[in-house]
Structure 1
Amino acid sequence: MVAAVLILATVALGSVADVPDNLDSPRTLQEYLRHAALNNAGLKAAFEEWKAALEAVPQAKALPDPRFTYGYFIDEVETRVGPQKHRLSIMQVFPWFGTIQTRTDAASAVAKAAHKRYEAKKLQLFYEVKEAFHEYVYLQRAIAIARDNLDLVRHFEEVARTRYITAAAGHPDIIRAQVEVATLEDRLVALQELREPIVARLNAALNQPVSERLPWPELEARPPVQVNRVEVLALLREQNPQLQALDFDAEVARNQIELAKKKFYPDLGVGVDWIVTDNAAMPGVRDSGKDPVILMFSLNLPIWRKSYGAAELQAMAQSRRTMHRKRDVENTLLARAQHVLYDLEDSGRKLRLYDEVLVPKAQELVGASETAYSAGTVDFLSLIDAERTLLRFRLERERARANQQQRLAELEMLVGAELSD
């Protein structure tokens, strides 16, 4: 009988599934990720920030608007060729050589940094979804295991009753079984109530109402996790979008230094001045009524050189700040990656231990303990202790399995690339 109960433990996960209110809700991890990528509000905000930064590039390429000036002579100015009544001017200013290109390069670098921050936000979102999803999978498995153990203890209670009826055991054995049943029922209720906050986390990532019901996830066979520590740390330095965004921030800072230097040079203005002239009062005047047209050039005078020097020093300080910030972020990420790698390897080691040794031995211990109890060679407490050991080992195995997948997801976020097949 015990063997049958233990065999059912491997297939009883389906008994946990409830009929969802919304059949279109995601079930697999890929469906969750796809849904989150399309609907998450924070990711949409990061995308719009990137789009806004892209629109700054054509603005940086543009020249300043031409300036048009109109003048009206309140008192007509009499000249040889006729009275002047109107004056129209147009002037176009051209920044110093290379200013527009440098300004465009800076805007382009800002847009590239925004794109990398969008990618970082997407990786962060995917990590949050994966972590919550694997926690949901763990909860599903934990509930199934708790139900299996509850059925197992109820079976032990029947065995104790049978032995009590035959006077082979005392009434306290039945009471102990009933206490254990009540304890497991309470644990099962606690696990079932944990579903709501986990679903709320997933709904927040999906941009859905937190009370939206989500079906139990579809269980997928996942290959063993294997990563190369040296390769992972090298990938982090090369592909982490936060570090790449800071590289573009450094490029922006370098361009700002160049723009500050160009403030020491004048901008050139080119324009045309047209004076509207009426015909002369005296007939026969040569060029009577001819409108004068004047080609004009202008330069601003960069005389406040102390201010321009301060702007250059400010840009240089911002460049150094970006370099220091990148080094700090890189050190923090590498330290975090080292800790995640340890947790990943530790959870894998524990998973193998529970899979290959502890859970099989605990199942064997339960079967042997029931046989010995039925034969009267061990007491009921030994049987309950064996059951508790099996429950703990099975739950810890599932915890290690979930931790392994969660740490893998965190590592992929840090590296900026998929590490599993």
Structure 2
Amino acid sequence: MNVKMYKIIFFSWLLLLSINTFSQTTLENYLKIAAENNPELKATFSEYMAAMEKVPQVGALPDPQVAFGYFIEPVETRVGPQKWKFNLAQSFPWFGLLAAKENVATEMANAKFEKFENTKSNLFFEVKTAYFNYYFIEKAIEITKKNMEILQVFKRLSLVKIEAGKASIVDELRVELELNDLENQLALFVDTRNTIQTNFNNLLAREVSNSIEIPDTLWQDELPFDKLNMLDEIYANNHQLKSINHRLNAFINQEVVAKKEGLPKFNIGLNYTVVEKNPSSTAIDNGKDAFLFPSIGVKIPIFRKKYKALIKEAKFLQEAESFKKEDKKNVLSTVFSSSYKNFSDGDRRIALNKKQSQIAKKVLDVLIISYSTNAKDFEEVLRIERQLLKYELAYQQALIDKNAAIAFMQYLIGK
């Protein structure tokens, strides 16, 4: 192989790589637009931000209590009559209670965040699937038109044969039947394209009439991990499992809260009394206001039934989340197995239909030449033409099935 041939191969490979990179970059841009504009994603993020605002609420001390009293009939004392009375009190829970409540709220907020992340991953999967489906429908339209052009050529060839008396008019009518079927199928593809385009643009929250850029040839994605490690990655990174773990941690902390709620609470306060001067008193502290600080009180939770029920409630909620986690892992395992089967099946069908299309093209070329010389094998020409169309569409379908299966498994591992 000479130097010139090496250069041709290198630049051909570089061009193919740049096309695939551009195509994947285009899809990544669409994903970015969806992440920025999708209203459902914005809604789940707002729910997370609202949950975060719960943390400072539950971690704050109770509001202090202020009381004011006015003596309608002043109380006479040695130092003068009492006119006004003020009282300020602050309640303090048991040590660590507020921190435990903050932990509960934080874990619940983290669960909301994982819900947001799961919504984003699911949105990306839907965008990718819609993008792949749009690619398929565009290719289906292109392939169908190409097959219609082949039939038009074959129709003209049959007319020449009919005029020469070497073929029957039935040949032309059969071609017409095939063309009519393809025209109907083409119209269905066009309608389907409009539906997919609307769905895709709605996912991106933009005008439904916006065009969609697709590559000439769809790239083939590959699994980020081998099959043995994929399930471990799903268990470690799936956002739904992470959300369950955060809720489980929240209920563990809720048990701590319930236990500390059953412990004493303290009150610290001060009293200030305004005293007027007694004209008849000669005391040194005559008219001096009375100030008492601190006044200390203890709130003792005597009725234990309520707090025992709170502890049991937290334990049952922990148990429920543990069962949910076990069930979710079983579901994810089943779903992954099905998705991997779809991936493997798509990979096999890509190779098969590509090979079958190449063979069908060769057979069709030979049959058309045969028909053009001796007007034989007309029905076989039509049959192979149908097979060629089927294989070409099946190849494109297998391509998007493989990529869609990988996109779904990426969703499962939280990407």
Confirm or deny a common fold (TM above 0.5): yes
**Where do residues 309-320 of structure 1 align in structure 2 (5 Å cutoff)?**
309-320=308-319
Counterpart CA distance in 1 for 2:113 and 2:255 is 23
Counterpart CA distance in 2 for 1:57 and 1:323 is 24
Query: Is 2:326 the counterpart of 1:324?
Result: no
**Structure 1 residues 220 and 29: alpha-carbon distance in aligned structure 2, compared to 1, 3 A threshold:** farther
Partners of 2:353 and 2:391 within 8 A in 1? yes
The structure 2 residue matched to 1:183, chosen from 176, 181, 184, is: 181
The structure 1 residue matched to 2:214, chosen from 214, 217, 220, is: 217
Counterpart CA distance in 1 for 2:412 and 2:99 is 34
Counterpart CA distance in 2 for 1:86 and 1:170 is 120
State the partner residue of 2:112.
114
Counterpart CA distance in 1 for 2:222 and 2:166 is 50
Counterpart CA distance in 2 for 1:220 and 1:375 is 36
**Structure 1 residues 377 and 174: alpha-carbon distance in aligned structure 2, compared to 1, 3 A threshold:** closer
AA matched with 2:300: L
Counterpart CA distance in 1 for 2:227 and 2:130 is 25
Offset from partner CA, 1:168-226 (integer Å, 9 cap, x none): 111110111111111111111111111121112112211235x4343453446524524
**Where do residues 76-155 of structure 1 align in structure 2 (5 Å cutoff)?**
76-155=74-153
State the partner residue of 1:47.
45
Counterpart CA distance in 1 for 2:277 and 2:325 is 71
AA matched with 2:344: E
Partners of 1:27 and 1:217 within 8 A in 2? no
* Aligned length in residues: 390
In structure 2, stretches of 5+ residues that fail to align are: 1-23
Counterpart CA distance in 1 for 2:266 and 2:388 is 84
Offset from partner CA, 1:21-55 (integer Å, 9 cap, x none): xxxxx993122211110100000001111111111
1:151 is displaced (CA, Å) by 0.3
1:305 is displaced (CA, Å) by 0.6
State the partner residue of 1:34.
32
Using the aligned pairs only, state the percent identity: 29
Moved over 6 A (4+): none
Q: Which segment drifts farther, 225-234 or 138-147?
A: 225-234
Offset from partner CA, 1:274-299 (integer Å, 9 cap, x none): 11111123142231112222221112
Partners of 1:27 and 1:216 within 8 A in 2? no
The structure 2 residue matched to 1:259, chosen from 253, 257, 272, is: 257
State the partner residue of 1:301.
300
Q: Which segment drifts farther, 306-315 or 197-206?
A: 197-206
State the partner residue of 1:16.
none
AA matched with 1:313: K
Counterpart CA distance in 1 for 2:254 and 2:133 is 47
The structure 2 residue matched to 1:391, chosen from 383, 389, 406, is: 389
State the partner residue of 2:398.
400
AA matched with 2:347: G
Partner of 1:84, secondary structure, is: strand
Counterpart CA distance in 2 for 1:349 and 1:397 is 10
What root-mean-square deviation, in Å, do the aligned CA atoms of Structure 1 and Structure 2 show? Answer: 1.6
Query: Is 2:223 the counterpart of 1:247?
Result: no
State the partner residue of 2:192.
194
AA matched with 2:316: A
Counterpart CA distance in 2 for 1:215 and 1:337 is 30
Offset from partner CA, 1:348-371 (integer Å, 9 cap, x none): 11101112x211111111111112
TM-score, normalised on structure 2? 0.91
Counterpart CA distance in 2 for 1:183 and 1:263 is 76
Partner of 1:298, secondary structure, is: strand
State the partner residue of 2:167.
169
AA matched with 1:310: A
AA matched with 1:234: D
Q: Which segment drifts farther, 40-49 or 221-230?
A: 221-230
State the partner residue of 2:356.
358
State the partner residue of 1:20.
none
Partners of 1:140 and 1:216 within 8 A in 2? no
Counterpart CA distance in 2 for 1:122 and 1:175 is 54
In structure 1, stretches of 5+ residues that fail to align are: 1-25
AA matched with 2:331: T
Counterpart CA distance in 2 for 1:61 and 1:309 is 23
AA matched with 2:170: P
AA matched with 1:405: N
Partners of 1:27 and 1:215 within 8 A in 2? no
